[in-house]
Amino acid sequence: MTAADARAAAARIVGRVDREGAFSNVVSRTETKGMNPSDAGVARAIAYDALRNLTQIDVEVDRASKRPLDRIDRPLLDLLRVGVAELGRSDRPDALTVDAVVRAAKRSNPSYAPFANAVLRKVARSAPRLHPDMPAWLTAEMSSVFDDHEIEAFWEASLQSPELGIRGSGTPGGYVPVPGIEGAWLGSGPIPKGFEIQDPASVAVGLAVSARPGEVVLDMSAAPGGKTGQLVDDGARVIAADLHPRRTRQAARRVPGASWVIADGRTAPFEPATFDAVLLDAPCTGLGTLRRRPEIIRRTGTEDVTNLATIAGDLLASAIELVRPGGRVVYSVCTVTPSETVEVVAPYPARPPDLQLPGRALGKGWLLAPHLGPTDGMFIAIIDR
């Protein structure tokens, strides 16, 4: 494995996220499969830098290139993007970066090499400092609840690369437990047997449900089933529903211990007051997960926030109907916009989970976030019936 292989893998990740709509946390694993852990780590880190800074990087490439961007072959453009991303990090000699990317370009197509060399040398001379600004629409979205200082802290934390989060029981080598979130571990390296990838914030949601053996729990928007598996492991009888057939089928294979149903949670085929607990891990913008999926910022806008907040509100009304008196609804979203978090639960007598989680109280719920602790962003609120 060479430095060029790692840059080639990084370019494939960028291309798949940019043009196929793939999620970086998924393709960064598939495209580095079989690489040694250190090269895979380098490839992922450069790809993430490129994805975080893609808009500025394309401006730099355009400035340094004699050809307009849309006339550069896509595989070559992706290699240039990872080259510029790495030059922007400035912790490696520029000549080594240029050499590795040019070698990867040559391997892809020998005619790419002189062009890649010329563009990257020109970019290196201008020594760009890459740092994306938070989009104005997101600042505006957040400002009704967060002050400027906290918005800035959230953004800076969202630009960092997180460690890998895993969940399971036992003591996995190479990982450390996350204080306050039992069963959640952070670290790096291979995923130990019996553990699965899950950010500590997601593990916290499962803990907030506190499903007990014998309870009947509805996981109302459950695919891909990360939290469903946790509820099953806790011994509950879990009915798991999701709107999307393909996602539901995949999740059913992943978590066979739950009973899976394809259903719209707003019109779910269940009697009112049926469940001991309902988990509504609602569809949302995912803006709390920017560390792992930086592309979300370019795929999201204010209309998405508004639409998803409306769906979440409708799903929550339905979830409350389905839970029995004395039961509870756990509402969670992996985002930080007030419209999708505090405002959705505002009409109800909601409360934060009864746990010592990292993060802080927000409205009637609890916020975990990368600027408040070692987790992705997640808002959790409980409504007792």
Answer yes or no whether residue 322 interacts with ligand SAM by CB under 6 A.
no
Answer yes or no whether residue 167 interacts with ligand SAM by CB under 6 A.
no
- Using DSSP, state whether 20 is helix, strand or coil: helix
Contact 100, 7 (CB under 8 A): yes
DSSP string of 251-268?
HHHH-TTSEEEE--GGG-
Nearest distance from residue 198's CB to ligand SAM, in Å? 8
Answer yes or no whether residue 50 interacts with ligand SAM by CB under 6 A.
no
Can you tell me the distance from the alpha carbon of 63 to that of 149, in angstroms, rounded to the nearest whole number? 34
Nearest distance from residue 284's CB to ligand SAM, in Å? 6
Give the one residue of 158, 221, 289, 335 binding ligand SAM; rule: CB under 6 A.
221
Can you tell me the distance from the alpha carbon of 367 to that of 369, in angstroms, rounded to the nearest whole number? 6
Nearer to ligand SAM, 281 or 295 (CB): 281
Answer yes or no whether residue 192 interacts with ligand SAM by CB under 6 A.
no
Give the one residue of 82, 243, 255, 278 binding ligand SAM; rule: CB under 6 A.
243
DSSP string of 97-138?
HHHHHHHHHHHH-TTHHHHHHHHHHHHHHH-----PPPPHHH
Nearest distance from residue 293's CB to ligand SAM, in Å? 12
Helix 94-108 to helix 3-20 angle (10° resolution) is: 70
Give the one residue of 29, 106, 122, 247 binding ligand SAM; rule: CB under 6 A.
247
Nearer to ligand SAM, 126 or 310 (CB): 310
Site string for ligand SAM, 248-287 (x = CB under 6 A): ----------------xxx--------------x-x----
- End-to-end alpha carbon distance in the chain: 58
Amino acid at 127: A
Contact set with ligand SAM (CB under 6 A) = 202, 221-227, 241-244, 247, 264-266, 281, 283, 311, 315
